[in-house]
Structure 1
Amino acid sequence: MAFPSAPSALWSVSLLTVLFAAAVHSNIVYDDDPLQPVTSDETVSVGGTVTLTCRVAESDNSSLQWSNTAQQTLYFGEKRALRDNRIQLHRSTPTELSITIADVQLSDEGEYTCSIFTMPVRTARATVTVLGVPGKPQISGFENAVPEGDKVTLTCTSTGSKPPARLRWYRGDEELEGRPNVVEPVPDDPTYNVSSELTLTVSSSDDNAFITCAVDHPSLAPGDKRSEQALRVLFSPKVQIQPESDLPREGEKFSLRCLGDANPEPTSYIWEKKDGELPSLAKAEGAVLHFSMLNKSDNGIYLCHADNGIGNGQGEYVLLVQDDAVNIPDPTAMSTSSGVDHAVIGGVVAVIVFILLCLLIVLGRYLIRHKGTYLTHEAKGSDDAPDADTAIINAEGGHSGAEDKKEYFI
């Protein structure tokens, strides 16, 4: 067996080392190398448009080039190299080369290479990730109405997602907990089919309720793709009795209506009076009990039984007949009469007060005009009279000068 000589083996090792260094150099981005191309990874949904941009800090007049995943040249500077009308030139300058790919397909996913033909050749890679847009979810497993208390299992399925979508269940705004999503890869295709199951024990409140299955995926905005399924639940009547008036009066007509919330609607109604028979003037017509003329003897508890074939329900109403409106004093008339009485009394009091004031004024004026007028008599010589009789005689004689002794006080 012949072995290569030592110089020949050394030369081969040196050549491999240089080639490896050149290859490694082409994939390393040097921050201080102004001619090293810079790119960025991009994510796009199927059917969308992606822009690939390659830049260098400085230009030495070398051309930039974009190549696809199969290393086919797409653009060399401003020149198109591959005849694919989906690929267009976006911008070309000495330091930038940008291209767009429209109507992106799953096959467009992969690494794209930007090269600048310097010595050595410098390259940069951009990974394009293509999202498979999931289809609208389909809900199955519910066809006919089910009785209250039964369990319902719904299945939601969405196809064509990449990466696998996540399915969520809702009743109104409330999120429901379903079984874990089942993910199945599609043969000969990079997409996935996803399914989820939801099991509910239904009640009467679920009748006509909408159960929603929504797709959660990076290619979609929240709520973009969802489906709804209306539930139909069979349940027995829930009965209420509605009176025609809140104030039934003696002697008036009156009626009670039986309301049955049920699915299906009640088909039969039975009226009865608790602890007794229906009054002779009461007549039942289906859901309505008519009273042609109320009487105090009609007071009591009335029952309505409604049946819809699924079950039956019962409601009750306490009837309390009020007095006849004719025998009840009119509060308005009483109020009016009371008001009139108070007005009359007030008028009389006012007249009396006025008369008293007038009398006081007149009396006051009279007293003011005659106040302090009187006469004083001085009995001349009365002080010198020896006895009482003489003094009296002297006083009578002094009347002639009485006019001279008047005094006025005001």
Structure 2
Amino acid sequence: MAFSSFWKYCAPLSLLLLLSYSQTAWGQAVQAENVTVLEGGTAQISCRLQNYDGSIVVIQNPRRQTLFFNGTRALKDDRFQMVLFTPRLVRITLTNVSVSDEGGFFCQLYTDDTHHQVATLSVVVPPEVPMVEVKTEAVEGGEVELTCVSPRSKPPATLRWVRDRREIAGVISQQENGKTVSVSNTIRIPVERKDNGAALSCEASHPALVGQKRVRHYSLDVHFAPTVKIIPPQGILREGDSLSLTCSVTGNPLPRDIQWSRVNDTLPERAEKTGNILLMSRLSQSHNGTYLCQAHNNYGRAADHYTLLVYVSVPPKSHPAIAHLPSSSFTKEYQDPGAVVETHSAVPYAMIGGILALLVFTVICVLIVTIWCSVRQKDHGTRKLGRRQRAQRNPSS
């Protein structure tokens, strides 16, 4: 009976005390918010309080170093700033965030029991413009090996090679470097001379770029042996004129040392060499010969020739004196524009000579026929006179 009376009066009091303790112990709470930020940006770390009664609030970094004790700075790191401290919200900022700052930040509320929540800071590292590494140089008729590299990103960047808006399949590899990842994409493509200067690009995609791309442009540098071609002057040159020959040279790398020479002879005294140009003034027969232009680089050499013929002019100033030939082959027949012009100018004289010869022949024939007819007529008259004289001597007959 006594126990029943005690429980009757004590049970409500015990329940009241239990509720009061529960509100004291669990009524106060703290909530933290996870944060994702770009490397180099500013992170806001917030701790939300419920039923805050002025208890101590401590914020710690992932290494459990105390950053702030209530509103007071505890760690000398100027990147951290307390921007808000109210009974409902505590907020700090972290500037110039790096991947080393990544982890859980502790929001702790010290009451009779310690309450804490962890705000996880995630750092995203977008890729920079990728780099292009040339593993093997491009030589005409061979292959070139190119590697596109994005040295740091988090999460890993996506790399692809593009040429003429078409993707080139490559070999992709990844390598972790602490909390970031290095990504590479290697391609091997055959190259010819025509590919020199062709445009390729390596594109890096990443969620942090929000649909944008970081692009590295690259131009193929294809090495090849030189080609040489002598460009002759236009028109007909005459004795006493000047001759300028231009040696057109291609190649990669472009040959710098261009050599002029004359086959089986030295260059004329008045010949001047200026880079790829050979200049000769006051041309004469002493300039006759075959001239060579030669060039070379590390991948080969090439040469071209030009044959110059100087013809005697009669009279010296009335006919073309010089003929130049195309330099495609040593075995081609000489085709001299001056000689052609001379032949064309000789045609009227030949025709006149022929006509004169025909007239002389006709006159001679007429004279012969006339003389022959005259002789015949004279012989006939002589015979007729003789018969008449004989008839007079012999009248009886």
Q: TM-score range by the shorter chain?
A: 0.3 to 0.5
Q: Which structure features the higher share of strand residues? A: 2
TM-score using structure 2 length: 0.46
TM-score using structure 1 length: 0.45
Task: Tell me which structure has the larger Cα radius of gyration.
Answer: 1
